[in-house]
Structure 1
Amino acid sequence: MSWARCARGHHHWGPRGAAGLLVAADGAVLLQLRARWAHQGGTWSIPGGARERGESAEAAALREAEEELGIDPAVVRVTGSYVATCGGWSYETLLARAPRDLAVRDLAESDGHRWVPVDEVDDLPLHAGFRAAWADPGRALRDFADHPS
């Protein structure tokens, strides 16, 4: 994969866009501590990455979650998505439900993970893109995570 430059002149990872998986359960979200060597390493975010040729956002998000945290795609239930755009480039966050005892292990690009209560997410050093999505005035991510379904 490589970097892409959007129409606004910003650099983004993935020429075909990117996707990630926000897993929620019982008023908490599963966050990943990005490996120190990764872009914006040492920050908290969700598993995700560049979309491959012909890959849907959902397939990319589930693949990345399996590669980075060992999450079995069959165990999560995708219920929607949130799309952030910048100059023609997009990052789609797939919204999913899973049990809190979801099997998770740190693999590629991950130095840790934990379930974080919704009201404590803002207190963490967040990846800039995730912080922007989490703080979106429409509150799509926060509202999804805060309401059981």
Structure 2
Amino acid sequence: MEHDGNGWVSCDLGHRHWGRHGAAGLLIADLGRGDDPWILLQHRAAWTASGNTWGIPGGARDSHESSAEGALREAGEETGIGADDVRIGGELVDDHGRWAYVTVLATLVGPVVLVPQEESAELRWVPATRVTELDLHPGFAATWPVLRERLVDGG
């Protein structure tokens, strides 16, 4: 059932979220640029949910997808990065009850060419120590401290 995840839902915390079966995103770290990992960030197009903020490529999961499958599909659609370009590591689940966002951690395994699509105003590699200098998507901002620690610990 392709794209059966598109749609708004309310979680147990009373928030409205995109993704009938939850959502997933791919946090891609490039570890080959020195001591500090570089993170691929997406400047979300103005028309998207929480538009004009920075986050990771991601979106609604379809009913048949695992978190990693959904995150990889969304990253491919939004950046041109495919499953062969990354190595999947751990996951961080932000569970709101009846809805969850799963951040799938990945490391880049070789050079890539970024291909921004309509949901992206810009794609940019950012040193992990400078991520918080950007206007972050609220959900990403809330989980970034834990995600940053996981990067330091190796996933």
Normalising by structure 1, we get a TM-score of 0.90
Answering whether residue 144 of structure 2 is matched by residue 134 of structure 1, we say yes
SS of the residue aligned with 2:118?
coil
Q: Distance in 2 between matches of 1:16 and 1:53?
A: 6
- Single out whichever of 120-129 and 1-10 deviates more from structure 2: 1-10
Hey, what does 1:23 align to over in structure 2? Answer: 28
- Paired position in structure 2 for 1:91: 101
- In structure 1, the partner of 2:113 is 103
Say which of 53, 77, 82 aligns to 1:43. 53
Distance 1:147 1:99, change over 3 A: farther
Q: Distance in 1 between matches of 2:46 and 2:99?
A: 25
Q: Give CA deviations for 1:27-73 in whole Å, capped at 9, x if unaligned.
A: 11110110111111111100000111211111000000000111121
**Structure 1 residue 25: Cα displacement:** 1.3
Q: Which residue, out of 3, 8, 11, partners 2:16?
A: 11
What TM-score comes out, normalization by structure 2 length? 0.87
- How many residue pairs are counted as aligned between the two chains? 145
Distance in 1 (alpha carbons) for counterparts of 2:28 and 2:88: 9
Unaligned runs of 5+ in 2: 1-5, 32-36
Question: Alpha-carbon deviation of 1:8?
Answer: 2.1
Which deviates more, 16-25 or 101-110? 101-110
8 Å contact from structure 2 (residues 80, 115) kept in 1: yes
Q: Which amino acid aligns with 2:97?
A: G
Residue 122 of structure 1 is aligned with which of 114, 118, 132?
A: 132
Letter of the aligned partner of 2:118 in structure 1? A
Question: Is 2:48 the counterpart of 1:61?
Answer: no
Give deviations 1:55-101, integer Å, cap 9, x for gaps: 11110000000001111211110011111111331100000000473
Amino acid at match of 2:15: H
